[in-house]
Structure 1
Amino acid sequence: MKRKSLFALSAVVVVAAAALVPVLWSGGDNLHNGSAMAATPADQAELIKKGEYLARAGDCIACHTVRGGKQFAGGLPMATPFGTMFTPNITPDDQYGIGKWTQDDFYRAMHTGRSKDGSLLYPGFPFTSYTKVTRADSDAIYAFLRSVPPVNVPSRPHELKFPFNQRNMLIGWRTLFFREGEFKPDPTKSVEWNRGAYLIEGLGHCGMCHTSINAMGGPVNSAAFAGGLIPLQNWYAPSLTSNREAGLGDWDLKDIADLLKTGVSNRGAVFGPMAEVVHNSLQYMSDEDINAMATYLKTIPQKSEAPEPLQLETSEKFGGELLKQGAKIYADNCAKCHAENGLGMPPSFPPLANNQSIQMPSAVNPIRMVLNGGYPPSTEANPHPYGMPPFAQSLSNTEVAAVVTYIRMSWGNHGTAVSPQQVSDLRSAPLD
């Protein structure tokens, strides 16, 4: 077995929260550019409704609500290699929340990554994406957050190691990786395409997971959307620019839309962090917006692939032995749902044959699925999804490596053999 030195993924404090959504806002009177704005109750109700929808699009609740806790009260720990970040209270509480922020303060945080007092925000808050959000949409989100019940709970300070607890270090990071500016429509593209681009690149901040991170914690912009390991979550966000992974160029628009809206489609299902995105956010999006996102995703051009994470390789002989062992394990444990020929019974049981997510250079996701099992998200259109049982207790590291090797190399799939050491490394990985 040899170690293949490819890319040492280093997640900086800033990236540890690859899903850190909208945040550090605050209330205040209905002000805009310092002048009072008259609004009827009906107008305000409509604005709040729009803001709620946009907050869903940004998946704010995922990071700012602890499981079982008060909505938007923050406190969710984000472990990083440099310490732990805690998401802030963004309810309209005057003492601990955003109750004293104006619309201008809120927009400044979204657009420039600066807090009410002008201090720099850590890029765990995805202002590099939110800078694209329009002022009108920012104001709507602000109005919605002003409408939620205030929670009098202090935001817990970050626990970061020196020198990462020095915010002035962010000046250099911002110079390298942040470009301020609202989204500019492409006049050569359709209205639908531009709407999809706005949602994917802005509020959706999809690039935070689907783009690799360099040693400074900044995105590898030359390989945008080309995939990457999500720091400390040990899930791989596949490339959206390559049909070898999750590139969608040969997918029907309906299959893309179904996957985004319900978590399952005839081409596959989502698990892990993406299942949470569908559950918390995408299932609530309108059909028009989902179709717009699908339209944009289908046209993302081929780009340079992301640097590959550290990968363990097996010898050809050992890989052949794993393949033979995996055939029996598959027949005994997997064929009932996924079929002997690997075609499955979609959308309930996704196909494994010709499934890009199975064949990617990174075998992280199929290994984790065999070990931990999982469910696609429960959505209104698919309230009782079929799930996969975990096999961590019944299969050894070698047996898991064998069955994953088998599905990666059978039925015309072009994946490579999986090392038992890879399985061992992921067996203790966090489930969230």
Structure 2
Amino acid sequence: MKRSDRHGGNLDATVFSASRRAALIARRRVWKMAALAAAFSLFALYLAWLEAYDAEPRHTDESPLGEAVAQASAPASGASGLGPDLVRRGEYLARAGDCIACHTSDKGRPFAGGRAISTPFGTIYTPNITPDPDTGIGRWTDADFMRAMHEGIGKEGQRLYPAFPYVEYTRVTGQDVQAIRAYLNTMVPVRYTPPSNDLRFPFNQRWLMVFWNLLNFDEGRFVPDPKQGAEWNRGAYLVEGLAHCEECHTPRNFTQGLKTGERLSGAIQAGWHAYNITPHKTSGIGSWSDQDIASYLSTGIAEGRASAAGPMADVVSNSTQYLNRADLRSIAIYLRALKPIDRGEARARAEWGSPASDAVALRGARIEGVNGAQLFLANCASCHHWTGEGVGASAPGAYPSLIHNSVAGASDANNLAMVILHGVHRTTKDADVLMPAFDRELTDAQIAAVTNYVTKQFGNPRSTLSAEQVGRLRAVPQ
């Protein structure tokens, strides 16, 4: 074979190979165009189907809420099915969770947030949870809301601070969380941006909550105890979950997590003593009946034992008075079945005191300095009577007796001084109870004198306060 023939053969093979590649590329382009055309056709058919049936794309996590809100906003004559019932249930559950208390700083803007919560690490301002799309949770999906309640994680993936009690809310069922969200979405949207949190470094770094959660948070829903009855389990579900009683009544560790070994045995919150509510006979509520507990939660009064004041008065006003009888009884059954925790009290708080006779003894006497009995007669006796036995007997709006009163008989006088400083305002279906605040009327020394007189005469005589201690209580943000 000649050399020129070999070169020609190579050239022919090269030309053939190039032609083959070009053909393959052309075929691939045809297939790609066909695939794109098919995809476009399918998409066009899908749009046509949506148009024909007037349907819209829906995310499965949003559909139940959408149905509930749509039905809830429909005229009553046409409203039926799950929607209105879901919203009504959500309202009841939101009451049980006392959502309005923390998320309302201005009663004219319910659920719009902005309430300041003082912590050892700084001040946290509660968020707006109205359905406003820009400043509230109007753009949150059901999944976003569920994640916040169950995991303590916000819409943008940020770690929430445990001032929002997701440590307890994690136990709430998905259905109940969805009902609460459905109810909140029927609220009037309020365009309001609460102030930014004021937390010291490094506590203003949300990512650190990962480590806090490792120590203090167990994510998971409530699991009924098969060894207990239905009422006990319902009470446990409420107390450990939505009602988040532990947040106030359980002592805290150095990270401000709850001491689970001392559950509900009492703690100090913002200067107020949230008392031991385990069934210990002297330290707790072991001598209370189921009816005492139910009455206290529904009216703020357990006759001959206690009258709700401070944060607990707010809980009764905003939350527990709305609970039905079955749930109140379930809570009582659960609390009275807890492990009793002894805090060392020799007598129950409501077993102290006897009537006073100082009004007679002081008549015509020369008073020098700050005198607790004189201050009591001048500022307190018109409502609580000079004997301390109260005015109005057992009527719903009666002024309570200071004898056999758990505040006067407590082992510390914190709550008594706080009541004198800040007064009482408790509104229920039975009565509107008001006691004026004396923080602007009396000095620290005078409040200490009145407090010590009341504990000595009507309560636990070992419970005393100095003027300096009153000053520290006065300074605690409320």
Q: TM-score, normalised by structure 1?
A: 0.79
Decide whether the 8 Å contact of 2:165 with 2:244 is kept in 1: yes
> What pairs with 1:8-407 in structure 2 (closer than 5 Å)?
31-32=60-61, 41-42=79-80, 43-154=82-193, 156-230=195-269, 233-241=270-278, 242-244=280-282, 247-266=284-303, 267-303=305-341, 305=343, 325-327=371-373, 329-330=375-376, 333-335=379-381, 337-339=383-385, 342-344=388-390, 345-346=393-394, 348-375=398-425, 377-382=426-431, 384-385=432-433, 387-392=434-439, 395-407=442-454
List runs of 5+ in structure 2 lacking aligned partners.
Answer: 1-56, 72-78, 345-369
Distance 1:207 1:146 in 2: 28
| Greater CA drift, 45-54 or 355-364 | 355-364
Give the Cα separation in 2 of the matches to 1:205 and 1:167.
23
Three-state SS of the structure 1 residue aligned to 2:424 is coil
Q: Specify every segment of 5 or more residues in structure 1 that has no aligned partner in the other structure, as ranges.
A: 1-27, 307-323
The CA RMSD over aligned residues, in Å, is 3.0
Moved more, 403-412 or 165-174: 403-412
Question: Deviation at 1:411?
Answer: 5.3
**Mapped partners of 1:75, 1:424: distance in 2:** 27
Amino acid at match of 1:297: L
Distance 1:270 1:280 in 2: 13
Q: Which has the larger radius of gyration?
A: 2
Deviates more, 1:352-361 or 1:218-227: 352-361
Deviation at residue 149 of structure 1 after TM alignment: 2.7
The structural deviation recorded for 1:293 is 1.6
Once the 2 structures are TM-superposed, how far is the Cα of residue 156 of structure 1 from its aligned partner? 4.3
Displacement after TM superposition at 1:275 (Å)? 0.9
Equivalent-residue separation in structure 2 for 1:130 and 1:428 (angstroms): 31
SS of the aligned residue for 2:225 comes to coil
Fraction of identical pairs, as percent: 42
Report if the CA contact (8 A) 2:412-2:463 is conserved. no
TM-score normalised according to structure 2 size: 0.72
Q: Which structure carries more helix by proportion?
A: 2
Aligned to 1:357, the other structure's residue is in SS state: coil
**Superposition deviation, residue 289 in structure 1:** 1.4
Residue 268 of structure 1 contacts residue 351 of structure 1 at CA under 8 Å; is this kept in 2? no
Change (3 A) 1:400 1:190: same
- Partner Cα separation in structure 2 for residue 67 and residue 155 of structure 1: 11
Q: Deviations over 1:270-324 (max 9, x none)?
A: 1111111111111222122122222222333212649xxxxxxxxxxxxxxxxx9
Corresponding letter in the other structure for 1:405 = N
- Structure 1 Cα separation of the partners of residues 235 and 173 of structure 2: 14
Cα distance change of structure 1 residues 349 and 253 upon mapping to structure 2, 3 Å threshold: farther
- Counterpart secondary structure, 2:415: helix
State the one-letter code of the partner of 2:217: F
Q: Distance in 1 between matches of 2:461 and 2:65?
A: 62
What is the CA distance between 1:194 and its match in structure 2? 1.6
User: Is contact 2:144–2:154 with CA below 8 Å preserved after alignment?
Assistant: yes
1:100 Cα deviation (Å)?
2.8
- Tell me how far apart the structure 1 counterparts of residues 153 and 373 of structure 2 sit (CA, whole Å): 55
Q: Deviations for 1:394-427, whole angstroms, at most 9, x for unmatched residues? A: 5544443233223323357453332232223234
Task: State the 1:260 CA deviation.
Answer: 0.7
Residues 338, 68 of structure 1: CA spacing in aligned structure 2 closer, same or farther, 3 A cutoff? closer
Name the counterpart of 2:467: 420
For 2:291 and 2:59, the matched residues in 1 are separated by 41
